[in-house]
Amino acid sequence: MSQTKTDKQADLEIKQYRELAAIATGDFWYFWRYFVRTLDSHDARTSKKVVPARALDRIFCRVVQEIPDVLFTEKSRQVMMTWRMAAFMLWDTIFHRNRLNIIQSKKDEDAQDVVDRCRHIYDCLTEIWPLDLPQPKRVAGQSGTADEIYFPSIFSRLRGIPMGPDILRMHTCTNIFSDEINHQTKAEDSYGAAAPTLSGGGRYFAQGTPNGHTFAWETLYAIDPFTGKPKGPNLKDSREILDPPFKAPEGLSAEAARWWIEKKILDMSHAEFWGYPLEVLLSAMPGMEYWQTVDETHCLRIHYSADPMKSPETEAGREWIKAEKKRIKSQERWMREYEISYDTFEGLPVIHNWSEESHVRAKKYDKRYGLVNGVDFGVGFAVAFLCQFVEFEDFNAKQLRFLDEVIKTNSNTYALADRIVEVIKGRYPEAWDYNDIRNYVDPAGHQQRETTSDKDLNTSIKIMQSRGLRCYSRKLGLSDSTEFMIGQFCEVLPNGEPSIVFHPRCEYGIKVFGGGLHWPTHASGDRMRGVHEGKYEKDGTYDHGGDAGRHVICNTFRYIPNVSGQKAFKMRTKKIRQRGTGRTIGIVRQRW
């Protein structure tokens, strides 16, 4: 074997190399450190890239071997987590018999990309592995699945599938890896379909960068979907350990201390490294956190600073951060994809002029006006916004005020209607007493029937009306009514206030119109404005709020649906006159 400076294995004798391979079959860390070759799309010099050993690699390799059932990982971009999980899934497949390992992603192509990474690692492995390897048989994609790698001699296979529960229900898997779970609209259904895998001793791994308050966010932070609050304290938490087991010596610079910790973890003996409880070990590791929720879900956070070459404490890290920020340019995207912020969202926001300072105002309930509500039905996610359409006394203009909201997940229309009535009676009794309530609902409610009982033939709208809630519905063209809604958010009244405002307690509504409701995005990451045909992303969470808001906004501001195939409205100039004097105090451009 020739001597080179770039290949660590070149310094090892053949006998030692075979011993390492024998250890690697049972220890994923040895496999990753000595035998994995990746493909770096930013490095054209080689297609077989040796990954430098990092402390975060050694810790992560222990985590995926130690966690007994469910692991959710939140991460920054550019930390190679997909490569690590691809290597782990391949390692588990080729060194263990009777495996069915599933890689799931949003689309077939995305799952196929991860399977291709596994194949690349295997192809490189055949050139350097000193022991016998099982030979793969490529199986083409079938019935909605990406192609798979099958090892007939050990009856193990590795398969890629798109999001959704259907395929998972058909099999009891060994390991399921759900990649970029925050961008999968059927993530919760898929996780539910993995129950046979977990009860049979299998494991479920999920990871991704944030994309708002999704199912993965609720799981990571044990959020009760009904109350929106944490269910209870974590069972384990590395962040609560204030005295780590080892620290850098005093007197070192920040950069030297960071490298000292890196070397300490990498140089530990096997016995010492595995002797620390996982949460204790991670309490000393910068950029990584571990906790176990009250639901017994194991959770891991990997920030880019876990890599010393990207840490702000090192010179190389500061240069990397500077270069990445120059490339990203968007502060919102940086916070979401690098700083792991769940309060920012993917894609270009539909309400492009949203300003929390302007649109969030603590307006009080005005007893002179009734309620106008927007309702979107759904068993998985139902939304109701309770609003008032208030006329200003000093000038001829009206303002739509979002006063309250009702959110129901994994429920039915009976529970939604009962909760709406409860909120109205409690906070807006005058509107209930005078029956001054108009509910603008999704017209699909005329056909949508409850699925809680085969004998229940009531539609969603009939259920609402049975609770004393008058419902009004009409068909709204999605593209044109969305454009109308955007226009209303742009309107500014003569007193300087916007024509639509939200009470601070409408936390979900503020997230919806503050960026959660967004246009679709190209696979390349480019915004699709102008290509999406005016239809916002159906992400399963924020689009329901967009629909409920669109119904109440379009109906109260008198949007005329496009029934002739032409534009549904025209622009007109309206003078705002002061009452009493008739003096013109403003001019507003309105869609009509």
Distance CA 220, CA 572 (A): 50
What is the pLDDT at residue 39?
Answer: 82
Domain ranges of the chain: 8-337, 356-591
**450 Cβ contact list (under 8 Å, min separation 6):** 412, 413, 414, 456, 458, 460, 463
Q: Is 486 helix (H, G, I), strand (E, B) or coil?
A: helix
pLDDT given for residue 471 in this prediction: 92
How high is the pLDDT of residue 491?
A: 87
Predicted local distance difference test score (pLDDT) of residue 214: 85
The pLDDT of residue 227 is 78
Q: What is the per-residue pLDDT for 577?
A: 59
pLDDT value of position 406: 94
**pLDDT tier at 412, thresholds 50, 70, 90:** confident
Q: Where are the beta strands (DSSP E) in 120-263?
A: 137-139, 148-151, 156-162, 175-179, 203-208, 236-237
Confidence of residue 100 (pLDDT cuts 50, 70, 90): very high
Which range in 69-78, 405-414, 536-545 is most confidently predicted, on average pLDDT? 69-78
For residues 147 and 20, the model is more confident at 20
pLDDT for the residue numbered 11? 52
Contacts of 32 (CB under 8 A, 6+ apart): 51, 57, 61, 84, 87, 91
More confident residue, 414 or 577: 414
Per-residue pLDDT, averaged over 413-441, amounts to 92
Among candidate residues 386, 37, 75, the one with its CA nearest the CA of residue 206: 75
Q: Which two tokens stand for residue 163?
A: 């999001």
pLDDT of residue 91: 97
For 434-440, what is the mean pLDDT? 92
Top CATH class of 8-337 equals: alpha beta
Least confident of 31-45, 249-263, 394-408: 31-45
E-assigned strand segments in 247-376: 288-292, 298-302, 371-376
Say whether pLDDT at 40 is over 80. no
Considering only 103-117, 325-339, 382-396, 504-518, which range has the smallest mean pLDDT? Answer: 325-339
pLDDT at 574: 57
Nearby residues of 421 by Cβ (< 8 Å), 6 or more positions away:
432, 467, 468, 469
Q: What percent of the chain has pLDDT over 70?
A: 85
- 527 DSSP β-pair partners: 521
The residue with greater pLDDT, 380 or 407, is 407
Q: What tens digit of pLDDT does each residue of 165-211 get?
A: 888 888 889 999 999 998 888 888 899 999 888 888 899 999 999 88
pLDDT value of position 224:
87
More confident residue, 396 or 127: 127
- For the chain, what is the mean pLDDT? 85
Q: Which residues pair with 71 in a beta bridge?
A: 205, 298
Confidence of residue 576 (pLDDT cuts 50, 70, 90): low
Kindly tell me if the per-residue pLDDT of 9 is higher than 70: no
pLDDT category at 342 given cuts 50, 70, 90 is confident
Write the pLDDT tens digit of every residue in 481-540: 888 898 899 888 888 889 999 999 999 999 999 888 988 864 434 443 334 467 888 888
Helix (H) or strand (E) segment spanning residue 454: none
What is the rounded average pLDDT of the residues 418-422? 94
Q: Which of 520, 508, 515 is nearest to 545 (CA)?
A: 508
Q: What is the pLDDT of residue 579?
A: 57
| pLDDT score at 480 | 85
| Model confidence at 572: pLDDT above 60 | no
Q: Are 444 and 376 in contact (CB under 8 A)?
A: no
**Residue 42: is its pLDDT beyond 60?**
no
176 vs 202: CA distance, rounded Å = 8
pLDDT surpasses 80 at 90: yes
pTM of the predicted model, to two decimals? 0.65
Tokens for 469?
């809630």
Looking up tokens 């120059």 gives 326
Confidence of residue 264 (pLDDT cuts 50, 70, 90): very high
- DSSP tag of 361: -
Q: Is the pLDDT of residue 278 over 80?
A: yes
Per CATH, is 356-591 categorized as 3.30.420.280? yes
